[in-house]
Each structure stands twice: as structure tokens, then as C-alpha cells.
Structure 1
Amino acid sequence: MSRWEPNARGRLEQAAMELFGERGYEQTTVTEIARRAGLTERTFFRHYADKREVLFGGSAALQDLLVGTLAAAPASAPPIDAVAGALDAVAAVFEERRDHSLRRQKIISATAELRERELVKLATLAAALAETLRGRGVGEPAASLAGEAGIAVFKVAFERWIDGDGSQGMSAYMREALDGLKDVTAGR
């Protein structure tokens, strides 16, 4: 094995996804992932803290996209509309990776530990949205409510998109979920 391997992180992710799909998350070891990728365990741990992080390694980039888009929204945008714009940006990224999202969600749904980690990730995203809204001058409880509502919209839309037949993009599900939330708050 050579000392330097191109795209090690991508190869590790691909190997892990294949093995998780074949054997299940809990039955797959880091050693097996590294071996499948043609790399060493040491290389694995240079890229990921543990095998769980293969599935959640994109969380920081997702948060950066949400927060960055929200921060760049027009100052005149109502909080929920600014959050909706951030969700649209995220939907576009997910739509480019539908197959990956389907495989990833199947793995997460099958394992309690991963479902718990997903909930922690969503709570972290809601807190980041609320913090960004507070930075935009939105007071409490509006900032926290808009952050939590945005993640609720995301969660509902994502689940419907994953369960869908692929004929409708995630952004359409996002708009439907947001419209549903607005109907609920308007008493319809």
C-alpha cells in the first residue's frame, strides 16, 4: 500500500456505506471499512473520530450552509421567511445527493444509536438557526421558535422526500411543509 492515497475520505465513506448496507452498522468494524477502502485504520482515524462520523461528517458543512444563507437573507425578511430561504439552499444540496441520502437514512433508521445522533444533530441545527436570528436582531422567543420550526419543516420535508418516488424535489416538500406550518399557526 502506498503512503499517500488520493481521495481517502471519499473512499472510506464509500466503503463504510457499502458495508453498513451489506452487514448493518453495528456489525461493521473500522478495520473492515479501512480494508475495503484499501487503507489502514490509522488513515480512517485521521479522517473520522469513529465509524458513526462517516454518516454525520457533513453536519458542519450543512450547518455552515444554513447559517450562512440565513445570515445573508435581506434584513427586512421575517424570521420564518429567512429560515425558509436557508432551507431552500439545503434542499438543493440534498437533491444532488438523493441516492446517498436514501442509503444513509436507511442505515440511520435501522439503528437506535444513529437515530439518537440524528436528533442531536437536528437540535444543534435549530440552536444555530436561533443564534443566527438573534444576531439579526430577532428577539426571544421568536428566534428560538423560528429555529425550531425551521428544523421541524426540514425534518417533515426530508422524511416525505425520502419516502417519495423521486418525482418531486425536496424543495417542493420543503415549501409544502412550510405552508402546512403557516396553516397551523393561522388556525386553518
Structure 2
Amino acid sequence: MEYVRLMALPLKSARQPSSPQRLQVRRRLAAAAMELFASKGYEATTVDEIAATAGVARRTFFRHFRSKEEAIFPDHDDTLVRVEAVLAAAPAREHPIDTVCRGIKQVMRMYAASPAVSVQRYRLTREVPTLREREIASVSRYERLFTRYLLGQFDEQSHNGDEPLLAEVAAGAVVTAHNHVLRRWLRRGGEGDVEAELDHAFAIVRRTFGALPVIAASSGGAATAAVAGSGEVVVAVARTNAPLDEVMRTIERALAGPAG
């Protein structure tokens, strides 16, 4: 049985990674902001003080950030560009859930690159609601990106118009798994093998969403589907050129039916 899917348009981004010099200034401003927030308090700190501590002019600050709360998240824009690149260059045989999991690893690596800074920022965001709101807004951009990507992987007329809901739920599951592991790691002071923990969390997500009948592997990849009616009919869908072991796993999952 041939598997037919709606071809997604390739993801393209007009954003470009920041130059090393620009990123260096952004990180210097972020370090100054965190230092002042910790010593003076968020409310008492001004943009002028952040700029002066970083050794730049006020106008330079606003070339990099729109507000002082935005200043302690210097790397999210560049990380989003890297995540988009992962999605756009996904191997043809890779399942979209696997692609999204690889994409969000770029976010974890951003935090893990500077554990001490990440822990300090985490503590600040716990204390200052405005910073927490800014962090949530930054993270939500990844979730929207993943939702759009997954939606592009659905079969044509796959689930009676529920594709947007399912794409959003699956994307939310990946982001939630990532954030759960990240918070645990930050509470431990940035200690431990966070990527191994993340892989364990993603394995749980894959078990839950990897066989969704509405989400297909990218062109050439395996696909699974199961439709049961009154316990009498089971339909399994796979590529025509799928290896036998893939076909058997597809059939086994279909026969097993939904958990519970």
C-alpha cells in the first residue's frame, strides 16, 4: 500500500545568525544586566546602568535589546536560527518527531554551554515575574515553530481537520519534556549529563507520539497508521519499499491498538 502525504513547503528563515562581534556585545550586556539585577534588584536597575556597566552607549543597548528584561536572554534569536536550520535540513527518512527532538537540543546546548550563567539566570527569573514572562515568551517561539513544522508533515485529509490540534499537542509534548529536564538540571546547579536525561525524556515522547497516524516521516520515511472498528478491522500503512522489519513493526503496533 502506497503512503501518500501532503508535501510541506520547505522552512525558510530570513533571519541570519549574529556576527561574533554582535553576539559578544549582547552577552556582555546580558552579564551586566544579571549582575545589576542580582546586586541592586530588577526594579532599581536602569538601562543606562546596564549600558555603562557593559561599557557601551545607551543607543548601543537598544540596537541589541528592546527592554532591560530582554537583555538577560542574549542567545535565543541565534538559537532559533539554528533550530530552523535543523528542521530545514532534516534527512528524508527521519520521523518528524525525531527531527523536532533534534531541533530543541539546540536550545538545551545553549543553556549547557554556560552552566553558571544559566543557573544564575534561572534564579533571577524565579524571583522576578517580569523576567519569567520574558522567558516564557522566548520559549513559546520554539513551540510555534515546531507546530508549524509538524503540521506540514500530516497526510492529506489525515484526521478530519484535527491536524492543527495534534501538531500543537505533539510540539507541546517535546517542548514540555525539554523544559522539565532543563529545570531539573538548573535546580541541581547545572550538574549532571543533561543530554542523556533529555534523550530519556524524548524516548517517552516518541513512544507516545511516534506512531500517530496523522504524522508521517519525511519523504521516503516510514509511516504508521491504525484504524480499528468494533475489534474486527485493522489497517496498517507503510511505504511500498519499507524493509520487512519496519512493516512487521507497523503491523504489530496496529494490532496492539491504543494503550489502555
1:138 to 154, 179, 183: 154
Equivalent runs, 1:98-137 vs 2, <5 Å: 98-135=115-152, 137=153
Which residue type is aligned with residue 114 of structure 2?
R
Aligned-partner Cα distance in 1 for 2:189–2:55: 35
1:54-103 Cα deviation digits (max 9, x unpaired): 12332222222222212322232222222111233333332211111111
Over alpha carbons, which structure has the higher Rg? 2
Query: 3-state DSSP class of the match of 2:140?
Result: helix
1:149-160 alignment, distance < 5 Å:
149-160=173-184
| 8 Å CA contact retained: 2:147, 2:168 | yes
Q: 1:178 aligns with which of 195, 202, 205?
A: 202
TM-score (norm 1): 0.82
Task: Give the letter for the 2:154 counterpart.
Answer: V
Matches within 5 A, 1:3-152: 8-135=25-152, 137-138=153-154, 140=163, 141-152=165-176
TM-score by length of 2: 0.61
The amino acid that maps onto 2:174 is: G
Q: Secondary structure at the match of 2:110?
A: helix
Which residue identity lines up with residue 66 of structure 2 in the other structure? A
Q: 1:89 to 1:42 in 2, by over 3 A?
A: closer
CA contact (8 A) 2:119 2:186 kept: yes
1:3 maps to none
In structure 2, do the counterparts of structure 1 residues 146 and 70 end up closer, same or farther at CA, with 3 Å as the change threshold? farther
By relative contact order (CA 8 Å, sep 6+), the higher-ranking structure is 2
**Would you say the 8 A contact 1:134–1:143 is kept in 2?**
yes
The alignment of Structure 1 onto Structure 2 pairs a total of residues equal to 183
Q: Which structure 1 segments of 5+ residues have no match?
A: 1-5
1:168–1:187: structure 2 CA closer, same or farther, 3 Å change rule?
farther
Contact 1:65 1:90 in 2 (8 A): no
User: In the alignment, is the contact (CA less than 8 A) between 2:26 and 2:64 conserved in 1?
Assistant: yes
Deviation at 1:167, TM superposition (A): 3.9
Contact 1:153 1:181 in 2 (8 A): yes
Q: Is the 8 A contact 1:83 1:150 kept in 2?
A: yes
CA–CA distance in 2 between the matches of 1:98 and 1:187? 39
What fraction of aligned residue pairs are identical, expressed as a percent?
Answer: 32
Segment drifting more, 123-132 vs 161-170: 161-170
Q: CA 1:187–1:23 in structure 2 vs 1: closer, same or farther (change >3 Å)?
A: farther
Q: Which has the higher helix share?
A: 1
1:160 Cα offset (Å): 1.1
Say which SS state the counterpart of residue 39 (structure 1) adopts.
Answer: coil
Task: Work out whether residues 52 and 114 of structure 1, in 8 Å CA contact, stay in contact via their aligned partners in 2.
Answer: yes
Do the aligned partners of 2:75 and 2:110 also contact (CA within 8 Å) in 1?
no
Q: Is the 8 A contact 1:130 1:144 kept in 2?
A: yes
- Amino acid in structure 1 at the alignment position of 2:178: F
